[in-house]
């Protein structure tokens, strides 16, 4: 069943400002609904398939947003960044207003696939180690990758502040100084610390895949983002 809501409330839900501000925006003729200007801020509008245009820019209505970002280096995965810009600076400001958050965290110098959403249960499911959604990382190492290094990561390494041995779900050499590591959890600096514990050192790190969702398939340049639809979201389940 199609849901109808007052237009100013719809605009507010999309992150365009307070309800009062959105009402003024509508009354000033700056908002189109499915191609037609509407100046009645209280007009009830069906949300199914709703296409808004605000200040001449198309803005499809989305009750919840699911976003993939190809995270650049030197951005923090935090809504309150401290030492580097936050990743929300890479998105339209409307997303900040509607409380879009990173799903988990990548270190400021780690690049690659980052999910973002304003759907709390989704964020919890993707962040919880109980759901065992694998994450694939590609690390460039200081020393050459060896068969012994791969074996050690598969066997498990002990970190000083972790009660249990940490193991890679799978691991394989990609090049002389490049290794792919698959993890089922996401502990603090985990890949970097595991490599150190196994006798090597991480020079750079990129997350290439979450579940079955591959960054390369999204064809995002560094710093670019896209919405995720049902087909992509279905790939984010445990495998």
Q: Catalytic residue at 107?
A: yes
Return d(Cα 215, Cα 155) in angstroms, integer: 28
Q: Answer yes or no: are the C-beta atoms of 148 and 212 closer than 8 Å.
A: no
Q: Answer yes or no: are the C-beta atoms of 133 and 126 closer than 8 Å.
A: yes
Return d(Cα 220, Cα 112) in angstroms, integer: 10
Residues 6 or more apart from 134 whose CB is under 8 A from it? 169, 182, 183, 184, 209, 210, 211, 238, 239
Q: Cβ-count burial of 112 within 10 angstroms (0-12 exposed, 13-18 middle, 19+ buried)?
A: buried
Of residues 107, 109, 161, 230, which has the active-site annotation?
107
Q: Answer yes or no: are the C-beta atoms of 70 and 224 closer than 8 Å.
A: yes
209 bridge partner residues: 136, 214
Return d(Cα 56, Cα 9) in angstroms, integer: 19
Catalytically active residues are 107
């Amino acid at each position: 069943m199609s849901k109808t809501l007052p237009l100013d409330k719809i605009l507010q839900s999309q992150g365009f400002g307070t309800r009062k501000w959105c009402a003024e925006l509508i009354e000033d003729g700056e908002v189109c609904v499915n191609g037609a200007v509407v100046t009645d801020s209280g007009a009830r509008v069906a949300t199914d398939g709703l296409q808004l245009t605000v200040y001449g820019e198309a803005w499809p209505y989305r009750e919840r947003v699911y976003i993939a970002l190809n995270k650049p280096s030197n951005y923090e995965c935090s809504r309150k960044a401290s030492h580097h810009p936050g990743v929300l600076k890479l998105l339209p400001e409307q997303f900040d207003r509607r409380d879009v958050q990173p799903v988990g965290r990548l270190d400021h110098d780690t690049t690659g696939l980052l999910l973002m959403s304003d759907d709390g249960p989704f964020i919890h499911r993707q962040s919880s180690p109980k759901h065992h959604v694998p994450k694939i990382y590609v690390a460039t190492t200081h020393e050459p990758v060896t068969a012994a290094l791969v074996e050690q990561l598969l066997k498990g390494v002990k970190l000083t502040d972790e009660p249990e041995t940490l193991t890679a779900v799978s691991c394989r050499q990609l090049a002389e100084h490049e290794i792919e590591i698959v993890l089922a959890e996401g502990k603090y600096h985990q890949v970097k610390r595991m490599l150190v514990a196994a006798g090597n050192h991480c020079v750079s790190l990129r997350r290439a895949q979450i579940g079955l969702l591959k960054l390369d398939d999204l064809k995002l340049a560094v710093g670019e983002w896209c919405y995720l639809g049902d087909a992509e979201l279905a790939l984010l389940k445990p495998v």
